[in-house]
Amino acid sequence: MFTETPLIRRKLRNEFAAKCVFGLMALAMVIPLLVIVGYLFWKAFPLLSWDFLVTNPTNGMRKGGIWSAFLGTLYLVGISLCISAPIGVLAAVYLNEYARENWFTRIINLAVVNLAGVPSIVHALFGLGAFVLFAGMGRSIIAASLTLSIMTLPVIIASTKEALSAVPISFREACWNVGASRWQTIRHIVLPNSISGILTGVILQVSRTAGETAPIMFTGAVFFKKISEGNLFAYNLKDQCMALSMHLYTVTTQVTEAPAALPYAIATVLVVTVLAVNALSIGLRVYLRSRKKW
Amino acid sequence: MAQPNSDMRRRQRWQRLSEPVIETVIRLCGISSIVFVFGIFFFVFREGAGFLFKGLDLSQFLTSTEWYPTSQSNVRYGVLALIAGTFSVTVLAMLIAVPFGLGAAIFVSEFCGGRMKETLKIVIELLAAIPSVVWGFIGLSVMNPLIQDVFHVPVGLNVLNGAILLALMSVPIMVSIGEDSLKAVPDSYREAALALGATRWQLIYRVLIPAAKNGLLAAVLLGVGRAVGETMAVLMATGHAVNIPKSVFDPVRTLTATIAAELGEASAGSDHYQVLFIIGILLFSITFVVNLSADLIVKGIRKK
């Protein structure tokens, strides 16, 4: 057995101190999340109800609910993902299955990395210049969705690429050996085996898109718009729409005499939506990883 | 026998026709990101180009602190104060975020095992998911009075407020990239150090940090990139005053916040409107360089 010399005792103490210091640093990130969500929820509690979600804002945003903003966010997220998910997944298929190791592929990879780093407000400028003005779409849901979809594209490419490269190469080789073509291999072997990873990445983007404000401010989101309540198809693609994130910004900075709980309630709905979608994605990942076949 | 044969032949023909089409579509999607990067640069440039080459005094633009885009008599476009705003908030945010982010990365990678590690990584992922407008709102309605009370300053919307928010927003990416680079250090290094009787501190300072320094640097750079480009949080939380800050309690305005706040009011095609697009080009270039260097550093590690 070891005898406990002063040196060993000092080492143990040191070890413990290290663990505490770094642990506290990690804790400094866990606590904000809990405090923020808890605080928002506590402040918003008086206003939260089903009615809040399904009624339009009235009386200059001071009364009523958030229905038009909520539906607008659903539209923006849905349409932008319908555009970016197929392009992103196919781009990742290209990078992982077709592209060779050469300068061209390196440039594509660099472009993906840089696209991911473009500030959201620059995306807004791009959307305004390209879709709203150049393509003549005007400020509309479709222009805002296109802007958002280009913003989410690089992240979808990155996560899909990771999912595709997790499929063992021997699966593909076996498929080629029975005479399948490249696309048949992808369609019947690679995609089915990586669909869980791809879905996780795409779902994660739902939450990111839902929270974005800057890219839609000048491309399609408006201060206020009244739509029919309870109708899921109340917006037209050419319309401008409200969005939860934008609504939170305007209520906080531009609406005077709004009830104190209102911005908290909007923020809570936004955060809960985002975190719920994220949790769904994480849960799916954990579940699917546990029943992986290889 | 004839039936399946003809069926098979039809399928073969269909495949011969469809395969090249699908392959072309995939290739087009593959190069889409290049198209979009150039597209972003082109369209932002296109809107600002007119004024950039005709009328804008570039040396004044970059060195003057006077930003009076809507002045009636003497319009001045100097972005130095805005650059100083972005710079001060980013630097302070990094001073807060780097120790915490890297410390947390070390904790996750070296001190936790199994379940605890998974839980922490999930929490970090969730922290990264909180939208920037919510952070801005927190800065405005929670941090603002808090800073006023704690530091006894008249206004809580200042560099410090924005920096704390940006630190919280950029920590997750630092932790995940930093943890990746620590994981890439071979276990034999750790075992060798521990076998020599090194304490955990010595192991971390003398072995892990030098071995993973490129990855950690890339993690910090990606955090910087995110902080520079962040819009909504700084727009709402930094006080929105154009000046060069002298202390952390001075309000500032950043490049991103200026675009977000003024683009709505500037009429399309006017000088003011075009200047905002030129600021966009400036931002695009800054983040381009930061992200490119981070990427090259990470690639450098993989090659080794």
Q: What is the pLDDT of residue B1?
A: 46
Q: Distance (Å, rounded) from C-alpha B64 to C-alpha B44? A: 23
8 Å CB contact of B103 and A22: yes
CA distance B241 to chain A (A): 15
Interface of B with A in 101-120 (CB under 8 A): 103-104, 106-108, 110-111, 120
Q: How far is CA A263 from CA A53, A65, A214, A246, B270, in A?
A: 13, 11, 18, 11, 34
Chain B contact for A251 (CB, 8 A cutoff): no
Q: Cite the DSSP H helix spans in A140-260.
A: 141-165, 169-177, 182-185, 191-211, 214-217, 244-253
Q: Which tens digits make up the pLDDT trace of A175-204?
A: 999 988 888 899 889 998 888 889 888 888
Residue ranges of chain A with per-residue pLDDT less than 70: 1-2, 292-294
CA distance B210 to chain A (A): 18
The residue of B15, B17, B29, B33 whose CB has the most chain A CBs within 10 angstroms, and thus the best one to mutate to test that interface, is: B33
The amino acid at residue A3 is T
CB atoms within 10 A of CB B286: 18
The helix-helix angle for A120-127 and A141-165 (nearest 10°) equals 130
Pick from A282, A261, A272: which is nearest to A73 by CA? A272
Beta-carbon-side half-sphere exposure of residue A183 (alpha carbons within 13 Å): 15
Q: What is the pLDDT of residue B123?
A: 86
CA distance B297 to chain A (A): 13
Q: What is the pLDDT of residue A4?
A: 74
Chain B contact for A54 (CB, 8 A cutoff): no
CA distance A274 to chain B (A): 7
CB atoms within 10 A of CB B128: 21
CATH 1.10.3720.10 for domain A60-290, yes or no, is yes
CA distance A126 to chain B (A): 5
Q: How far is CA A109 from CA A101, A205, B32, B150, B156, in A?
A: 11, 20, 11, 47, 42
Q: What is the pLDDT of residue B9?
A: 79
pLDDT tens, position by position, for chain B (304 residues)? 445 567 777 777 777 788 888 989 999 999 999 999 999 999 999 988 888 888 777 888 888 888 888 888 888 888 899 999 999 999 999 999 999 999 999 988 888 877 888 888 888 888 888 999 999 999 998 899 999 999 998 888 999 999 999 999 999 889 988 998 898 899 999 999 989 988 888 888 899 999 988 889 988 998 998 899 999 999 999 888 888 888 889 999 999 999 999 988 888 888 889 999 999 999 999 999 998 888 888 777 665 5
The residue of B31, B107, B142, B298 whose CB has the most chain A CBs within 10 angstroms, and thus the best one to mutate to test that interface, is: B107
Beta-carbon-side half-sphere exposure of residue A66 (alpha carbons within 13 Å): 27
Q: What is the pLDDT of residue B197?
A: 83
Q: Distance (Å, rounded) from C-alpha B79 to C-alpha B244? A: 11
The helix-helix angle for B213-229 and B159-183 (nearest 10°) equals 150
8 Å CB contact of B37 and A114: yes
Interface of A with B in 153-182 (CB under 8 A): 153-154, 157, 181-182
pTM: 0.89
- In chain A, the residue whose alpha carbon lies closest to the alpha carbon of B109 is A22
Residue whose entry in the numeric block shows the structure tokens 């406990």: A4
Q: Which of A36, A98, A184 sits opposite B138 (nearest CB)?
A: A36
Chain A contact for B22 (CB, 8 A cutoff): yes
Chain B contact for A280 (CB, 8 A cutoff): no
Q: What three-state secondary structure class fits B79?
A: coil
Q: What is the pLDDT of residue B5?
A: 67
Chain B contact for A254 (CB, 8 A cutoff): no
Q: Are A210 and A274 in contact (CB under 8 A)?
A: yes
Q: Which of B15, B130, B277 sits opposite A181 (nearest CB)?
A: B15
8 Å CB contact of B133 and A248: yes
8 Å CB contact of B46 and A129: yes
8 Å CB contact of A126 and B107: no
Beta bridge partners of A251: none
Pick from B74, B62, B82, B175: which is nearest to B124 by CA? B175
Q: What three-state secondary structure class fits B76?
A: strand
Partners of residue B23 in chain A, C-beta under 8 Å: 98, 182-183
CA distance B157 to chain A (A): 13
Q: What are phi and psi of B161, to 5 degrees?
A: -60, -50
8 Å CB contact of B107 and A134: no
Partners of residue A91 in chain B, C-beta under 8 Å: 29-30, 32-33
8 Å CB contact of A129 and B47: yes
Partners of residue B43 in chain A, C-beta under 8 Å: 125-126, 129-130, 134
